[in-house]
């Protein structure tokens, strides 16, 4: 509210009209000029100029004030800068990766062939787009291994930047990387003494000051401008400083992030650079690129930076682990960490369990798991150990019946169906796909109803699907927990089998080379392998058990001899009593397009 | 004479005696205000696009009766909306095609001052 005391001019308004009103109020308190209230007067024109000038200054001050604090900053550059004060470096893009078999051929192969860092292959996406995948370290192929190896390839291209340290420039320890699309986990820094002295030493990345002495040859990383990064060297007290004339070489991978995910087709480059040697690539049936992620959003930086600062670079509480992993491993879509006392089915005291979900795949590759351990081990309390557990991912199978009034819309049934599917997928990306994120039918129903005013009602039936890629011909058992009470309408188990409908069903697989089979429950908590064509024929009894109240499933090892050509996934589906699905802290629920079924029903109603 | 309205002059003229910023008062203040309104183009004033007329644009049209009528309407509208001190009596726009111009004569009275006032503004396009 304006102060109307004589002689007081309120200039805190940001709105032009309100500010002009304040000036008019001020003018009304002096006797000389009286025409300030008439828009045509000269004094009114002068008030306009004053108001505009004051508004501009107020806006500028407001902007400067806002951008000075992480909470209120709007510009990405300001957010990155504020985060830097908290020693927080925004997560960069990360490259999609894939593990492929490499085989060399030819009549005159040397005994040892080295594929250098940055050795490239070509990958073709489903839409025909072509991307390059490269190695991130040298790969040795020797005659002892028949010139074969499993090699990790990462999407992107290798960039090398060279800087010369010059103390006279006053900015000798700070070097800007030119690409905004750096995968910061790929940065490799080496320092050559000078042009004449070619002794070169690789320097290591340090996330903070902990353990860094004056003799530590380390570099730090910090955000710069919108999406860029700076490599920073020590000052001689914290980290070794650079000497004049040092030549700094920075290698890193420039990536397109999520654009590299989901690719299944790979081929060698036309020119591999290997003289007289042919190169062939082998990919498994389920091989697909994954792990590519986009750079951290401004909102995420605002959320994470203070929490990261809270950890002080040490992993003490469960949330510390989560924050530190999320910052250092951007390829994880979601991260979970919990103490061994909360582990199921068996408690693991003295152990911290960490897990993460990478976009596109449901497992953590071994090399990434090792990197996680290597990163966490030095910063956890003595006496604790870290263990990486694979994410426990469950798919939600959603059958949705949507009733709508055709008199209230111009959309066709197929358009409504498409809009509803889109709404469900948006709900999935916004609400699910995170550790411990439960599925609640009512909020989704409300969102679907909001898709179009013609939608009258929405009904769901849900089931949960656990999927595995089975090892063919190998005896394998399965143990998992749906963590939800299952659909079981009978009050007494002994009365059950009279009107039997299985609650638990697997997908079809070959139990012997010719017999198609599946696993189902018998209503008494026992799982049997039955014939797919006639489920009253039991092929193997009591292969496992199911607990209808807790959702725990245990299947003893058995051999799958093959999968139908249409599928290579073994899925286990259970029905649920309601549309709500509870997720434990180690579980991730996901809705995939293939698991959504929408039935749109027209209903003519008067209102 | 009481000073009912007081403004400073458009040309920032000095008071020859005191050297202060000169005042324009009463009928003269209203006249200056009226002239400002008529000669201001719409969208010229910051954040208040409706103040003013579009006479400058009309000077580049063929000076027929339609343009004359439009000119009158613009002037009446702006006076009605932004100069409540004035009772508008008549607006006469006379075209001078040979000179590519108009003469606008506004006849009005001011509530506190009974005499009929006349404001004459010659308009000529600048190029």
Q: Which residues of A touch B4 (CB under 8 A)?
A: 34
Residue B67 maps to a domain: yes
CA atoms within 13 A on the CB side of A42: 21
Distance CA B73, CA A527 (A): 90
Helix or strand or coil: residue A415? helix
> Is A374 in the B-facing interface, judged by CB distances under 8 Å?
no
Helix or strand or coil: residue A389? coil
Q: Which residues of A touch B34 (CB under 8 A)?
A: 40
Q: Which residues of A touch B9 (CB under 8 A)?
A: 42
* Among A119, A101, A105, A100, residue whose Cα is nearest residue A279: A105
Q: What integer pLDDT is reported at residue B103 of this predicted model?
A: 95
Distance CA A87, CA A109 (A): 50
Q: Which residues of B touch A41 (CB under 8 A)?
A: 7, 29, 32-33, 36
Residue B1 maps to a domain: no
- CB pair distance less than 8 Å for B23 and A32: yes
> What is the tens place of the pLDDT at every residue in A14-53?
788 888 888 888 888 888 888 888 888 999 999 999 999 9
Burial zone of B88 (CB within 10 Å; 0-12 exposed, 13-18 middle, 19+ buried):
middle
What is the DSSP code string of B73-90?
A: HHHHHHHHHH-TTEEEEE
Helix or strand or coil: residue A312? coil
Q: What integer pLDDT is reported at residue A102 of this predicted model?
A: 92
> What is the tens place of the pLDDT at every residue in A347-377?
888 888 898 888 777 788 887 888 888 888 8
Q: Which residues of A touch B37 (CB under 8 A)?
A: 39-40
pLDDT at position A494 over 70: no
Helix or strand or coil: residue A77? helix
ipTM value: 0.90
Q: What integer pLDDT is reported at residue A2 of this predicted model?
A: 52
A289: left (phi over 0), alpha (psi -120 to 50) or beta: beta
Q: Which residues in B have their CB inside 8 Å of a CB on A?
A: 3-10, 23-24, 29, 32-34, 36-37, 40, 45-48, 51, 82-85
Q: What integer pLDDT is reported at residue A5 of this predicted model?
A: 64
Q: Residue with structure tokens 């910063």?
A: A379
> Is A52 in the B-facing interface, judged by CB distances under 8 Å?
yes
Least Cα separation, residue A59 to chain B (angstroms): 15
Q: Residue with structure tokens 């029903």?
A: A601
What is the DSSP code string of B14-80?
A: BPTTT-SBPEEEHHHHHHHHHHHHHHSBTT-STT-TTSSB-HHHHTTS--SHHHHHHHHHHHHHHHH
pLDDT, average across residues A496-502: 63
Searching chain A, which residue's CA lies closest to the CA of residue B4?
A34
* Among A188, A185, A201, residue whose Cα is nearest residue A159: A188
* Among A339, A360, A334, A337, residue whose Cα is nearest residue A350: A339
Query: Cβ(A520)–Cβ(A528) under 8 Å?
Result: yes
Q: What integer pLDDT is reported at residue A367 of this predicted model?
A: 78
- CA dist A510 → A64, A132, A285, A572 (Å): 68, 38, 17, 15
Query: Cβ(A422)–Cβ(A452) under 8 Å?
Result: no
Domain, as residue range, for B100: 6-124
Residue B62 maps to a domain: yes
Searching chain B, which residue's CA lies closest to the CA of residue A20?
B47
Least Cα separation, residue A38 to chain B (angstroms): 7
Q: What integer pLDDT is reported at residue A605 of this predicted model?
A: 64
The angle formed by the CA atoms of residues A58, A61 and A65, to the nearest 5 degrees, is 135
Residue B112 maps to a domain: yes
Residue B42 maps to a domain: yes
Searching chain A, which residue's CA lies closest to the CA of residue B40?
A40
- CA dist A598 → A235, A256, A271, A409, A442 (Å): 62, 34, 49, 18, 16
Least Cα separation, residue A34 to chain B (angstroms): 5
Q: What integer pLDDT is reported at residue A384 of this predicted model?
A: 87
Residue B35 maps to a domain: yes
Searching chain B, which residue's CA lies closest to the CA of residue A15?
B47
Q: Which residues of B touch A38 (CB under 8 A)?
A: 5, 33, 82-85
- Residue A381 CB coordination number (10 Å): 9
What is the DSSP code string of A500-526?
A: ---SEEEPPEESSSS-EEEEEE-SSSE
Band of the pLDDT at A193, cuts 50, 70, 90? very high
> What is the tens place of the pLDDT at every residue in B40-92?
999 998 888 999 999 999 999 988 899 999 999 999 999 999 999 999 999 99
Residue A320 tokens read as 């510390």
Domain count, chain B: 1
- CB pair distance less than 8 Å for A42 and B51: no
Burial zone of A57 (CB within 10 Å; 0-12 exposed, 13-18 middle, 19+ buried):
exposed
Q: Which residues of B touch A52 (CB under 8 A)?
A: 46-47
CA atoms within 13 A on the CB side of B102: 27
- Residue B86 CB coordination number (10 Å): 23
Query: Cβ(A220)–Cβ(A291) under 8 Å?
Result: no
Within A198-245, strands assigned E span 200-205, 218-224, 228-233
Radius of gyration of chain A, Cα coordinates, nearest whole angstrom: 31
- CB pair distance less than 8 Å for B8 and A45: no
Searching chain B, which residue's CA lies closest to the CA of residue A53?
B46
Q: What integer pLDDT is reported at residue B95 of this predicted model?
A: 93
Q: What integer pLDDT is reported at residue A28 of this predicted model?
A: 86
Residue B13 maps to a domain: yes
Examine residue A345 and say whether the peptide bond preceding it is cis (omega within 30 degrees of 0): yes
> What is the tens place of the pLDDT at every residue in B89-100?
999 999 998 888
Residue B68 maps to a domain: yes
Q: Which range, A9-18, A71-80, A126-135, has the best average confidence (pLDDT)?
A: A71-80
Can you give the CATH number for the domain in which B97 is found? 3.10.450.40
Residue A139, H or E segment:
strand A139-142
Residue A155, H or E segment:
strand A148-155
Residue A442 phi, psi (nearest 5): -65, -50
Q: Which residues of B touch A14 (CB under 8 A)?
A: none
Give chain A's mean pLDDT. Answer: 86
């Amino acid at each position: 509210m304006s102060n109307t005391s004589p002689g007081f001019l309120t200039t805190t308004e940001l709105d032009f009209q309100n500010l002009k009103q304040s000036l008019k109020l001020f003018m009304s308190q002096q006797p000389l000029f009286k025409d300030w209230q008439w828009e045509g007067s000269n004094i009114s024109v002068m008030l306009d100029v004053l108001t505009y000038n004051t508004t501009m200054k107020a806006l500028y001050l407001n902007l400067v004030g806002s951008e000075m604090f992480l909470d209120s900053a709007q510009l990405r550059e300001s957010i990155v800068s504020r985060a830097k004060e908290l020693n927080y470096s925004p997560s960069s893009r990360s490259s999609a990766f894939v593990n492929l078999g490499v085989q060399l051929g030819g009549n005159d192969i040397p005994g040892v062939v080295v594929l250098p860092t940055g050795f490239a292959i070509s990958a073709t996406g489903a839409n025909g787009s072509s991307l390059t995948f490269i190695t991130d370290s040298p790969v040795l192929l020797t005659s002892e291994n028949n010139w074969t190896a499993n090699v990790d390839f990462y999407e992107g291209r290798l960039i090398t930047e060279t800087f010369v340290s010059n103390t006279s420039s006053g900015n000798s320890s700070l070097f800007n990387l030119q690409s905004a699309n750096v995968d910061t986990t790929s940065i490799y820094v080496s320092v050559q003494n000078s042009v004449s002295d070619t002794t070169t030493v690789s320097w290591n990345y340090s996330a903070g000051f902990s353990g860094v002495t004056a003799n530590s040859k380390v570099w730090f990383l910090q955000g710069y401008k919108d999406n860029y990064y700076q490599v920073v060297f020590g000052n001689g007290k914290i980290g070794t400083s650079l000497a004049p004339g040092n030549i700094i070489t920075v290698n890193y991978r420039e990536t397109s992030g999520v654009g590299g995910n989901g690719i299944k087709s790979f081929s060698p480059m036309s020119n591999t650079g290997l003289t007289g040697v042919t190169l062939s690539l082998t990919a498994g049936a389920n091989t697909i690129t994954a792990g590519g992620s986009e750079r951290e959003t401004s909102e995420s930086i605002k959320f994470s930076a203070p929490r990261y600062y809270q950890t002080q670079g040490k992993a003490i509480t469960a949330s510390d682990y989560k924050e530190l992993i999320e910052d250092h491993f951007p390829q994880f879509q979601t991260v979970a960490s919990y103490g061994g006392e909360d582990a199921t089915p068996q408690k693991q005291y003295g152990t911290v369990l960490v897990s993460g979900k990478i976009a596109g795949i449901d497992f953590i590759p071994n090399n990434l798991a090792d990197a996680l351990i290597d990163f966490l081990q030095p910063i956890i309390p003595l006496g604790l150990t870290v263990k990486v557990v694979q994410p426990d991912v469950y798919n939600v199978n959603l059958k949705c019946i949507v009733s709508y009034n055709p008199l209230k819309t111009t959309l066709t049934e197929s358009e409504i169906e498409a809009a509803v599917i889109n709404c469900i997928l948006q709900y999935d990306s916004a609400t699910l796909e995170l550790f411990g994120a439960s599925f609640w039918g009512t909020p989704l129903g409300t969102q679907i109803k909001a898709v179009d005013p013609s939608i009258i009602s929405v009904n769901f039936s849900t089931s949960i699907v656990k999927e595995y890629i089975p090892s063919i011909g190998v005896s394998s058992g399965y143990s998992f927990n749906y963590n939800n009470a299952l659909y079981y309408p009978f009050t007494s188990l002994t009365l059950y089998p009279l009107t039997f409908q299985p609650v638990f069903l697997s997908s079809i697989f070959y139990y012997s080379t010719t017999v198609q089979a599946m696993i189902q429950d018998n209503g008494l908590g026992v799982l049997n392998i039955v014939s797919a064509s006639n489920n009253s024929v039991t092929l193997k009894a009591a292969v496992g058990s199911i607990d209808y109240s807790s959702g725990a499933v245990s299947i003893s090892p058995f051999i799958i001899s093959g999968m139908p050509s249409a599928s290579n996934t073994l899925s286990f589906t259970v029905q649920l009593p309601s549309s709500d699905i509870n997720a434990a802290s180690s579980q991730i629920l996901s809705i995939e397009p293939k698991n959504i079924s929408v039935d749109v029903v027209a209903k003519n109603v008067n209102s | 004479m009481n000073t009912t309205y007081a403004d400073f002059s458009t040309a920032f003229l000095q008071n020859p005696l005191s050297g202060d910023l000169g005042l324009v008062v009463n009928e003269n203040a209203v006249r200056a205000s009226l002239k400002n309104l008529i000669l201001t183009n719409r969208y010229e004033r910051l954040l208040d696009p409706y103040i003013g007329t579009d006479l400058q644009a009309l000077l580049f049209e063929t000076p027929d009766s339609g343009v004359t009528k439009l000119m009158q309407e613009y002037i009446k509208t702006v006076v009605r909306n932004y100069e409540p001190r004035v009772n508008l009596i008549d607006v006469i726009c006379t075209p001078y095609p040979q000179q590519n111009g108009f003469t606008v004569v506004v006849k009005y009275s001011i509530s506190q001052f009974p005499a009929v006032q006349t404001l004459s503004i010659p308009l000529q396009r600048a190029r």
